[in-house]
């Protein structure tokens, strides 16, 4: 591969010599020698112009779309999914292309088109394209599909060669004419406006063979004659006309890359000559209609222009923005600027491409403004194949709202019709096109945002397409229809896909309504509600960080310059007993907790530090003392501790090494070791702790024990037994005098069916809840055994030979032990999972569930892709109450990662919305929620930023937001049930007294000293006065 003289052509790295199919090349016979010199001059001129424009700010207004505010809020209302309705007169439609759906390519005298020949010469399975969806003979079924959707318009194209087999306007085909008349009459009868496209790529083959197709200007007049016939014949019933559908693809792929008919490739000059002729053909037809038909037919006309969208690598970099502008101008601006702009090509294109055809001044005036609205196409054909797009080193994007803003700014706020929009699915997908729903949801909501927030005049939307059909270079390898068609069947029924159901709903409601969320509630939690903060495992200090008060020796530092401490012999200092505040880390914890203003602090002990050998033979008393110090010092802040005995993660299992070597949780003896460990903690710390969590998220240890499903289920079984044994020993030996409560904390995200129109998705969501939550909750809070649905589903897969998994069985003694072994339900909740049914084969826990997760791209999400779905919190709380009864519930972890260190607005938004849903569950649904613990106190280095404090203890603004939630005890109205203001004052005073005891003592001593000194001074002054009086009296007496 060798490059042409384009090294100086910015952004043209995608134009090169190549013999491979699909690559666009230059004609060296046209561009050589002198042209290279000209290109060099134009290159210099071009970049000089770009530089001047960047500096002077004289470039197209569209550039401002890419200039982002670095301080913009991640939770800005204008950037999130918008629940609102479209304007009352908004038009909803659906579209098709004649060649894609009509079929019957040789029926009733239809002539061949360039696509007929291209398919039969370039595609292996050419026969399958002959019938397609067969709309030509199955029109009634198409009309029924339109009735189902409830659209206000139908955008379709006329097959030029079906009316005129050779392309030249003579006597039309009677059958073809009858078909289109019937179609238009049927639409009008249904109050569906026909939006008619004159040319959607299927040029009559005769015009290609005799004239060279769109390379020849003669085709312009022939196209105008064809358009005139259509206006005369159909214009009385058609109010919207499209001259040409996406001329960029006609020129670029038809005459450049060769992946579209007529399949020519290799000559860049031909590409732009074809584009030039297409623009002139459009303009001629537009003027023809305006002059001869528009006065009495009152119709509107445009041309559908398509484009990709692109984002700069760095939004603050002017050069990257300039490249994005060039990229869009090369595709959309190529046709839009002459028609919707000043009648000429973009300056960058003219300066860069010396061979670009020129418009005369008269032609510019003739072409300028030849559109009554801006018809815009935004779909996969504009993005594929990606290697043919002028990306210029930047990033492709599907942000429809931004490209609409670009059009508004570049072309003076035109009226816009979205004339083609949608995405695709693989060919094997039938009616369950779930991904298409979410793409449609995203695209349509971006249009709504553009209308409501950006004042863009979009008056209609066309979903593409009505039916599955022939998808150009992809043939039948992808599907884009709202209705599924089995091409091999005789009847070819139009079966609505889930995307058709969804689009029907949007049309019926004229927008989006929030189904899950309810209005905000002004209320408070109970006065004894627990407001907490959660931390992971606290790493205990084995030795106090400040031992100087315990060591009686005196030391000198660096006496010999060695940087060491040297003991001074013979000198002894006074000491004092060791104190908890000798541990520096405890001081830091207290300082952070004081700022949080919480009532409860949840943290985890380190089992492997307390019992390094896994049994009671070696107990690290110093570590136990550290944890006791934490709890006791925290109590001095009026903060209760919720202590977690065991907090494993997929990165750190947290077991003592000997137990790990013996198989960890696969060994039943680990459960007995855990019981001994729990009993030790209850005995040593239980007098200070009222809330215990035995194990944190045991239902997530499947990430660790994942070698097989047998390992996963056996480990889970032993974890359940371990928890139950720990609960039992507390219940029997410690509860009577310690008065505490014990449970385990389960990861409890909500599951929502990704596709509400398919029962299989609803079942998959329920199955997720059973495998994720019921797996541990059912044995404890319900039956003493695993969920029946879980056992049955695994057995069903076994019978089908898809899995060899099996759940362990509980003995009767184990059932009695496990059932009821919890005093409350503790849940960690972070997000809502959107679940789809996905059959899988294999003996793994993940495979046994037969589910996959789908990311809703319309949801606000965190850097770690946690979707912010507040209503999922309320749903899971209601589900727990419904499934396990009216039990006490503690939300032991809830939070989100936020990258910002100085303005974590995402965390504030998350906290406010999720606590609001908790309040609704508490106040409206009567769920017995006893406490809420935000996650988490401090973040860890090199991990998602979940903390209210950084790893070096710097506080974030969300602390104040959480403080306010706590002080208000929710979202109060004008009155307060608990009178939090008085309570806060009282608590603040008590807190001040408890925290400032040394200072208060010192102040009292100082005050007493001052009083004593003043007393002495007054006494001495009085004494001196008495002496003075006595002396005076003596003098008087002597003088007398």
Whether residue 307 has pLDDT greater than 80: yes
Number of Cα atoms under 13 Å in the Cβ half of residue 300: 14
Tens-place pLDDT, residues 728-757: 999 999 999 999 999 999 999 999 999 999
What is the structure's pLDDT at 1008?
Answer: 84
Collect all residues with Cβ–Cβ distance below 8 Å to 563 and sequence separation of at least 6: 557
The string of pLDDT tens digits covering residues 13-24 is: 232 223 333 344
pLDDT-derived band at 416, boundaries 50, 70, 90 = very high
Query: CA 470, 471, 472: angle at the middle one, nearest 5?
Result: 105
Tens-digit pLDDT profile for residues 884-914: 999 999 999 999 999 998 899 999 999 999 9
Question: Does pLDDT of 766 surpass 80?
Answer: yes
Using the predicted structure, report yes or no on whether residue 127 has a pLDDT greater than 80.
no
β-bridge partners, 955? 949
> Coil, strand, or helix at residue 311?
strand
ω before 378 within 30° of 0 (cis)?
no
Mean pLDDT computed over 75-91: 95
Query: Alpha-carbon distance 522 to 516, whole Å?
Result: 18
- pLDDT confidence of residue 595: 96
Q: Residue 447, Cα to own-chain centre: how many angstroms?
A: 18
Query: Contact 583/629 with Cβ under 8 angstroms?
Result: yes
Main-chain dihedrals φ then ψ at residue 245, nearest 5 degrees: -95, 115
Q: Are the beta carbons of 343 and 361 closer than 8 angstroms?
A: no
Q: Are 863 and 901 in contact (CB under 8 A)?
A: no
Contact yes or no for 494/467 (Cβ under 8 A): yes
- pLDDT (average), residues 466-479: 94
Percent of the chain with pLDDT over 90: 77
String of b and e for 778-793 (b: at least 16 CB within 10 Å)?
bbbbeebbbbebbeeb
pLDDT of residue 571: 80
Q: Taking a C-beta distance cutoff of 8 angstroms, is the pair 272, 331 a contact? A: no
Q: What percent of the chain has pLDDT over 70?
A: 89
- Asked, as a colleague might, if the bond just before 262 is cis with ω within 30 of 0, I would say yes
For strands 478-479 and 832-837, give the pairing.
Answer: unpaired
861 secondary structure, DSSP code: B
pLDDT for position 629: 94
> Given this model, what pLDDT does residue 1022 score?
77
Give 902-908 contacts, CB < 8 A, sequence gap 24+.
902/956, 902/957, 903/957, 904/945, 904/956, 904/957, 904/958, 905/73, 905/74, 905/75, 906/74, 906/75, 906/860, 906/862, 906/868, 907/948, 907/956, 907/958, 907/961, 908/75, 908/957, 908/958, 908/961
CA-atom Rg of the chain in angstroms = 39
Q: Which of 250, 267, 272, 268 is nearest to 259 (CA)?
A: 250
Cα separation of 460 and 195, whole Å?
11
Residue range 869-882, pLDDT digits in tens: 999 999 999 999 99
The mean predicted confidence, pLDDT, of the chain is 90
pLDDT band at 667 (very low <50, low <70, confident <90, very high): very high
Instruction: Residue 250: name the closest of 222, 221, 282, 218 by CA.
Output: 282
Alpha carbon distance 625, 605 (integer Å)? 12
Q: What is the pLDDT of residues 158-209, one digit of tens each?
A: 999 999 999 999 999 999 999 999 999 999 999 999 999 999 999 999 999 9
What gap in Å lies between CA 720 and CA 706, rounded to an integer?
17
Cβ(653)–Cβ(597) below 8 Å: no
Q: Indicate the SS3 state at residue 647.
A: coil
- Measured at the alpha carbon of residue 116, what is the angle toward residues 112 and 117, in degrees to the nearest 5? 95
As a whole number of angstroms, the distance between CA 460 and CA 420 comes to: 10
Name the residue among 735, 807, 736, 738 with its Cα closest to residue 778.
807
Per DSSP bridges, beta strands 565-572 and 553-557 are: antiparallel
Looking at residue 24, its pLDDT comes to 43
User: For the chain, how long is the longest CA-to-CA vector?
Assistant: 158
Are the CB atoms for 207 and 213 separated by under 8 Å? yes
pLDDT of 537 reads: 94
Q: What is the pLDDT of residue 980?
A: 47
In whole angstroms, give the CA distance from residue 438 to residue 817.
Answer: 46
* Residue 468 backbone phi and psi in degrees, to 5: -65, 145
Is 1026 a residue whose pLDDT tops 80? no
Q: Is the pLDDT of residue 276 over 90?
A: yes
Residue 7 has pLDDT above 50, yes or no: no
Q: What is the DSSP string of 375-402?
A: EEEESGGGTSSGGGS--TT-EE---HHH
In this prediction, residue 106 carries a pLDDT of 85
The H or E element that residue 642 is part of is strand 640-646
Cα dihedral 962, 967, 973, 974 sign: negative
Paired sense of beta strands 483-484 and 240-245, if any:
unpaired
Using a 10 angstrom Cβ sphere, with 0-12 exposed, 13-18 middle and 19 or more buried, the burial of residue 800 is exposed
Report the candidate in 471, 466, 508, 470 with the shortest Cα–Cα distance to residue 483. Answer: 466
Helix (H, G, I), strand (E, B) or coil at 7: coil
The pLDDT, as a whole number, for residue 990 is 60
Q: How confident is the model at residue 34 (pLDDT cuts 50, 70, 90)?
A: very low
What secondary structure does DSSP assign to 67-97, as a single string? Answer: ---TT--TT-GGGS----B--TT-EEEEE--
Name which residue leads in pLDDT, 935 or 1016: 935
| Cβ neighbours, 10 Å, residue 340 | 24
Q: Give the span between the Cα atoms of 877 and 585, in whole angstroms.
A: 36
Q: What pLDDT score does 310 carry?
A: 97
At 660 the pLDDT is 95
| SS3 readout for 577-616 | CCCHHHCHHHHHHHHHHHHHCCCEEEEECCHHHHCCCCCC
**Can you tell me the distance from the alpha carbon of 496 to that of 817, in angstroms, rounded to the nearest whole number?**
52
Q: What is the reported pLDDT for 992?
A: 62
| Strand bridging mode 478-479 / 425-426 | antiparallel
506-557 pLDDT, tens digit per residue, is 999 999 998 877 889 999 999 999 999 999 999 888 776 665 556 778 788 8
Report the pLDDT value the prediction gives residue 21, as an integer from 0 to 100: 37
Q: Which of 740, 736, 639 minimizes the C-alpha distance to 693? A: 740
The lowest-confidence range among 11-25, 467-481, 496-510, 826-840 is 11-25
State the Cα–Cα distance between residues 260 and 17, nearest whole angstrom.
20
* 8 Å CB contact between 720 and 698: yes
Q: For residue 856, give the nearest of 753, 754, 749 by alpha carbon.
A: 754
Q: Cα(837)–Cα(888) distance, rounded to whole angstroms? A: 33
Q: Are strands 240-245 and 193-199 parallel, antiparallel or unpaired?
A: parallel
What tens digit of pLDDT does each residue of 957-994 get? Answer: 999 999 999 999 999 987 666 764 544 444 555 656 65
Q: How far apart are CA 47 and CA 53, in angstroms?
A: 10
Per-residue three-class SS string for 142-194: HHHHHHHHCCCEEEEECCHHHHCCCCCCCCCCHHHHHHHHHHHHHHHHCCCEE
DSSP 486: -
Contacts of 40 (CB under 8 A, 6+ apart): 5, 8
Q: Residue 11 — pLDDT band, cuts 50, 70, 90?
A: very low
Decide if pLDDT at 3 tops 80: no
Contact (Cβ atoms closer than 8 angstroms) between residue 869 and residue 515 = no
In three-state secondary structure terms, 818 is helix
Please name the residues in contact with 55: beta carbons below 8 A apart, sequence gap of 6 or more. none
Q: What is the DSSP letter of 774?
A: I
Beta-ladder partners of 378: 421
């Amino acid at each position: 591969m060798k490059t042409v003289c384009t090294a100086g052509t910015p952004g043209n790295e995608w134009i090169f010599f190549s013999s491979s199919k699909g690559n666009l090349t230059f004609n060296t016979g046209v561009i050589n020698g002198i042209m290279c010199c000209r290109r060099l001059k134009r290159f210099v001129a071009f970049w000089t112009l770009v530089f001047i424009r960047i500096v002077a700010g004289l470039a197209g207004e569209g550039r401002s779309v890419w200039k982002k505010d670095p301080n913009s809020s991640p939770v800005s209302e204008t950037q999130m999914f918008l629940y609102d309705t479209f304007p009352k007169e908004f038009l909803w439609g659906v579209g098709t292309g004649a060649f894609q759906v009509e079929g019957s390519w040789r029926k009733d005298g239809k002539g061949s088109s360039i696509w007929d020949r291209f398919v039969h010469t370039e595609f292996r399975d050419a026969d399958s394209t002959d019938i397609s969806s067969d709309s030509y003979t199955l029109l009634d079924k198409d009309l029924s599909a339109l009735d189902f959707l409830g659209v206000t318009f139908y955008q379709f194209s006329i097959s030029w060669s079906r009316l005129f087999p050779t392309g030249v306007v003579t006597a039309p085909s009677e059958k073809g004419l009858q078909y289109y008349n019937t179609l238009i009459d049927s639409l009008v009868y249904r109050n569906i406006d026909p939006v008619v496209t004159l040319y959607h790529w299927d040029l009559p083959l005769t015009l290609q063979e005799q004239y060279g197709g769109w390379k020849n200007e003669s085709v312009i007049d022939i196209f105008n004659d064809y358009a005139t016939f259509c206006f005369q014949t159909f214009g009385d019933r058609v109010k919207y006309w499209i001259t040409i559908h996406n001329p960029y693809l006609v020129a670029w792929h038809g005459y450049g890359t060769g992946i579209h008919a007529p399949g020519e490739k290799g000559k860049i000059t031909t590409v732009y000559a074809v584009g030039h002729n297409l623009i002139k053909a459009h303009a001629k037809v537009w003027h023809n209609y305006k002059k001869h038909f528009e006065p009495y037919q009152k119709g509107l006309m445009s041309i559908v222009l398509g484009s990709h969208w692109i984002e700069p690598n760095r939004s603050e970099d002017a050069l990257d923005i300039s490249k994005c502008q060039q990229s869009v101008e090369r595709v959309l601006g190529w046709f839009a600027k002459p028609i919707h702009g000043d009648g000429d090509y973009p300056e960058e294109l003219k300066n860069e491409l010396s061979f670009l055809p020129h418009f005369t001044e008269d032609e510019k005036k003739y072409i300028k403004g030849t559109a009554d609205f801006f018809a815009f196409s935004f779909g996969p054909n504009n993005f594929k194949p990606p290697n043919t797009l002028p990306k210029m080193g930047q990033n492709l994007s599907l942000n429809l709202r931004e490209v609409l803003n670009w059009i508004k700014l570049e072309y003076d706020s035109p009226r816009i019709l979205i004339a083609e929009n949608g995405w695709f699915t693989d060919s094997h997908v039938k009616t369950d096109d779930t991904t298409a729903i979410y793409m449609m949801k995203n695209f349509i909501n971006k249009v709504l945002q553009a209308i409501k927030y950006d004042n863009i005049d979009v008056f209609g939307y066309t979903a593409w397409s009505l039916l599955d059909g022939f998808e150009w270079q992809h043939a039948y390898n992808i599907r884009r229809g709202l209705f599924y068609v089995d091409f091999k069947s005789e009847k070819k029924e139009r079966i609505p896909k889930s995307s058709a159901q969804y689009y029907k709903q949007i049309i019926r409601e004229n927008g989006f309504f929030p189904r899950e969320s309810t209005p905000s509630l002004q209320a408070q939690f109970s006065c004894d509600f627990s407001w907490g903060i959660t931390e992971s495992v606290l790493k205990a200090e084995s030795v106090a960080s400040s031992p100087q008060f315990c060591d009686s020796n005196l030391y000198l530092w660096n006496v010999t310059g060695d940087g060491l401490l040297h003991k001074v012999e013979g000198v002894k200092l006074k000491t004092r007993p060791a104190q908890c505040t000798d541990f520096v880390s405890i001081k830091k914890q207290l300082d952070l907790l004081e700022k949080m203003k919480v009532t409860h602090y949840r943290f985890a002990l380190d089992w492997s530090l307390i019992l390094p050998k896994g049994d009671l033979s070696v107990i690290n008393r110093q570590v136990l003392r550290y944890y006791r110090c934490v709890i006791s010092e925290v109590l001095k802040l009026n903060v209760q501790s919720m202590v977690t005995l065991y907090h494993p993660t997929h990165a750190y299992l947290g077991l003592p090494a000997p137990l790990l070597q013996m198989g960890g949780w696969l060994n039943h003896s680990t459960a007995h070791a855990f019981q001994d460990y729990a009993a030790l903690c209850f005995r040593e710390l239980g007098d200070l702790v009222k809330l215990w969590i035995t194990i944190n998220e045991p239902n997530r240890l499947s990430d660790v024990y994942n070698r097989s499903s047998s390992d996963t289920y056996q480990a889970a079984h032993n974890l359940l037994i371990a928890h139950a044994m720990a609960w039992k020993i507390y219940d029997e030996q410690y509860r009577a005098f310690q008065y505490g409560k014990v449970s385990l904390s389960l990861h409890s995200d909500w599951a929502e069916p990704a596709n509400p129109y398919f029962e299989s998705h609803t079942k998959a969501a329920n199955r997720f809840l059973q495998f994720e939550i019921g797996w541990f909750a059912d044995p404890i809070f319900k039956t003493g055994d695993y969920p029946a649905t879980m056992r049955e589903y695994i057995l069903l897969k076994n019978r089908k030979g898809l899995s060899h998994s099996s759940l362990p069985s509980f003995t009767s003694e184990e059932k009695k032990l496990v059932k009821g072994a919890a005093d409350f339900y503790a849940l960690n909740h972070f997000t809502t999972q959107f679940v789809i049914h996905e059959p899988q084969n294999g003996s793994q826990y993940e495979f046994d569930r037969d589910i996959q997760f789908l990311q809703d791209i319309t949801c606000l999400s965190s850097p770690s892709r946690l979707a912010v779905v507040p209503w999922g919190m309320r749903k899971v709380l209601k589900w727990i109450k419904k499934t396990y009864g009216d039990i006490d519930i503690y939300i032991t972890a809830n939070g989100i990662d936020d990258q910002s260190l100085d303005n974590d607005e995402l965390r504030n938004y998350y906290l406010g919305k999720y606590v609001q849903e908790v309040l609704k569950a508490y106040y409206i649904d009567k769920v017995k929620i006893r406490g809420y613990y935000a996650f988490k106190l401090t973040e860890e280095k090199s991990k998602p930023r979940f903390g209210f404090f950084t790893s070096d203890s710097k506080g974030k603004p969300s602390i104040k937001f959480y403080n306010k939630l706590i002080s208000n005890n929710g979202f109060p109205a004008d009155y307060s049930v608990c009178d939090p203001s008085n309570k806060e004052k009282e608590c603040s005073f008590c807190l001040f007294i408890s925290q400032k005891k040394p200072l208060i003592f010192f102040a009292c001593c100082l005050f007493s000293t001052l009083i004593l000194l003043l007393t002495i001074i007054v006494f001495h002054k009085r004494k001196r006065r008495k002496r003075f009086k006595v002396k005076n009296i003596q003098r008087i007496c002597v003088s007398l």
